[in-house]
Amino acid sequence: MNRIRQVARLQMPAWPQIVGWTWSMMAVAFGINLLSFMANYDPGDGVTTTGGLVSLCGMAIGMAAVSVTQIFPYALGMSVTRREFYLAWSLLAVVQSVVYALVLCLLRAVEQATGYWGVGMRFFGLPFMDDANPVLLLLGYAVPMLVVTHLGILLGTLHLRWGTTGVLAGLTLAFTALGLAAALITWARQWHAIGRWLLDQSPTALLAGWPVLVAAAFAVGGYGLMRRATA
């Protein structure tokens, strides 16, 4: 564990950039949303949810992918094993997800205290988690972050193995598979059943339960690919 922590610290010099860029982008997205809400605000409108958190997910994916492609070749040169590197980056993903989730909980509290920034804009709040207890709320933020960060690591590893072609081919395959699955579901007229299954799930299962499995799948895939990666 100590060795994994030492390897994880290889990312430390990049933290100002990772945290700085991620939250600067968030601030920009927040500012633009706020401006447009202020321009169109009508007290009778109630509260509208934005998709603002998507930008955070996008940044988390990009930052994780870049940090893998930047630091893995260096780590390998410093006699670090691929396994140590993967575990270290997975540990970083957990820490980063929990820290970001705490910040988001805080921002959500501010959001609610200010009456949705005074303009009915729900930017940080999560859908269907209004009456969740603090622990579930934290998990509701942290687990999806964990998923996207591991997706970023997976994309970075694809880049290590097969370059840009690998990333593009991987994404194409994923979209093809998802598209085919959607077509198949339509063909079999199963959307209704899937919708009902989703409604039967608790918010916790949807935001924290099932995504853990997705994160685990990305982690297994990423580790499997990294084991044969070369600098």
Partner 1 sequence: MTAVVTAHGVTKRFGDVTALDDVSFALAEHTIYGLLGRNGAGKTTLMQILTGQAFASSGNVSVFDAPPVENPAVLSKVCFVRESQRYPHVYTVRHVFRAARRLFANWDDTFAHGLAADFQLPAGRLVRRLSRGMLSALGVTVGLAARAPLTFFDEPYLGLDPAARQLFYDRLLADYAGHPRTVVLSTHLIDEVSDLVERVLLIDRGRLLLDEDADDLRGRAVAATGRAEAVDGFAAGRTELHRERLSGLVRSTILGGLGPHAKALAQTLNVELEPLSLQQLVVHLTVPPMTTAPADREAAR
Footprint on this chain of partner 1 (rule: CB under 8 A) = 3, 6-7, 9-10, 13-14, 17, 70-71, 73-74, 76-84, 227-228, 230-231
* Residue 14 vs 214, nearer CB to partner 1: 14
Q: How far is the CB of 17 from partner 1 (least distance, A)?
A: 6
Closest CA to 207 of 97, 107, 119: 97
Q: How far is the CB of 7 from partner 1 (least distance, A)?
A: 7
* Residue 22 vs 33, nearer CB to partner 1: 22
* Residue 2 vs 44, nearer CB to partner 1: 2
Q: How far is the CB of 56 from partner 1 (least distance, A)?
A: 21
Q: How far is the CB of 29 from partner 1 (least distance, A)?
A: 24
Q: Tokens 């840009």 — which residue?
A: 164
Q: How far is the CB of 96 from partner 1 (least distance, A)?
A: 17
Asked if residues 4 and 84 have their Cβ atoms less than 8 Å apart, the reply is yes
Q: How far is the CB of 127 from partner 1 (least distance, A)?
A: 37
Helices within 114-209 (DSSP H only):
134-187, 191-200, 203-204
Give the H or E element holding residue 8: helix 2-8
Q: How far is the CB of 170 from partner 1 (least distance, A)?
A: 22
104-112: Cβ within 8 A, 24+ apart: 104/53, 104/56, 104/141, 105/134, 105/137, 105/138, 105/141, 108/137
* Residue 50 vs 157, nearer CB to partner 1: 157
Q: How large is the angle between the packed helices 15-40 and 53-77, nearest 10 degrees?
A: 170
Distance CA 186, CA 51 (A): 27
* Residue 73 vs 195, nearer CB to partner 1: 73
* Residue 9 vs 198, nearer CB to partner 1: 9
Distance CA 29, CA 23 (A): 10
Q: Tokens 């995504």 — which residue?
A: 211
Within 10 angstroms of residue 97's Cβ, the number of other Cβ atoms is 22
* Residue 88 vs 146, nearer CB to partner 1: 88
Distance CA 182, CA 191 (A): 9
